[in-house]
A and B are shown apart, each in its own frame.
Chain A
Amino acid sequence: EAQVTQNPRYLITVTGKKLTVTCSQNMNHEYMSWYRQDPGLGLRQIYYSMNVEVTDKGDVPEGYKVSRKEKRNFPLILESPSPNQTSLYFCASSDRGPSDGYTFGSGTRLTVV
C-alpha cells in the first residue's frame, strides 16, 4: 500500500530535550515536505526537499532541522524544543512537487512542556 509513515503518533517532551520525528514514504517520490497545523492558522510549511541532499526552508523553519540522506526518509529534528513548537505535524510527499498533489502521513501530535 502506498503510504507515508510518521513516528511517533504522539509525543510529550520537556523543553530543550532534542527529538526526532521520522517520516518514510514507499512511493519513490522525489518531493517531501513537513507541515505544522495549528488552530486558526492552517497548514504551514516548515521545510521541504526536492530530492536527496536537497532541502530548503518553508515558511516557518525556525527551531527545526531536516535531512534527506535517502529518497524514502525525511526526518524532522527539533534540537531544543520549546512550548511554542507544540503542534500537530504532518509529513507529505509528492511525485515531483506539490503541484502534483500530496500524500500525507497520519500526523504526529507533539506537546512540549
Chain B
Amino acid sequence: EDQVTQSPEALRLQEGESSSLNCSYTVSGLRGLFWYRQDPGKGPEFLFTLYSAGEEKEKERLKATLTKKESFLHITAPKPEDSATYLCAGGGNTDKLIFGTGTRLQVFP
C-alpha cells in the first residue's frame, strides 16, 4: 500500500537556526514527490515537485532533495514568516496523490 510519512510532527526553531524536515515514502512507480506549504485556515500552496532521485530544487530559504526512499526539506536560516505546516505528497502508478500528515513548523524571533 502506498504511504507517505512525515517527521517530526512539530518543530520549533529559533530564527536563523537551520534544520530539515523528513518525508519517507513508499509509492509504487513514483511520478513525482510534492512539497506544499499550508498556513492556518488556508489551502495548501505548491512549493516543489521532484521527479527523480538526486534531484534538488531551491526557493529562497528552502531546498528540497529526493532519494529513492526519502525527501528532505531543508530550511536555511529560517524567519518567523516561514512558520507553517509543510506537507509532502507522492504521486505514483495510481495517479493519486498520497499526502503525509505534515510537519508544523514554528520559528521564533
Q: Please report A residues at the B interface, Cβ cutoff 8 Å.
A: 4, 40-45, 48, 58, 90, 92, 97-99, 101-107, 109
How many contacts between A and B, using CB within 8 angstroms?
50
Which of B42, B46, B102 lies in contact with A101, CB distance below 8 A? B46
Q: How large is the interface on B (under 10, 10 to 19, 20 to 34, 35 or more residues)?
A: 20 to 34
Rounded to whole Å, the gap between the CB of A6 and the closest CB of chain B is: 8
Q: Which residues of B from 57 to 109 have beta carbons under 8 Å from A?
A: 87, 89, 91, 95-97, 99-102
Q: Please report B residues at the A interface, Cβ cutoff 8 Å.
A: 31-32, 34, 36, 41-46, 49, 87, 89, 91, 95-97, 99-102
Rounded to whole Å, the gap between the CB of A2 and the closest CB of chain B is: 11
Q: What CA separation (Å) do A17 and B100 show in the bound complex?
A: 32
Known: A44-B99, A104-B43, A104-B44. 7 other contacts (CB 8 A): A4-B43, A42-B87, A43-B99, A48-B96, A98-B91, A99-B91, A107-B42
Q: Could you tell me if A107 and B91 are in contact, using CB atoms closer than 8 angstroms?
A: no
Q: Could you tell me if B101 and A42 are in contact, using CB atoms closer than 8 angstroms?
A: yes
Measured between beta carbons, the chain B residues less than 8 angstroms from A105 are 43
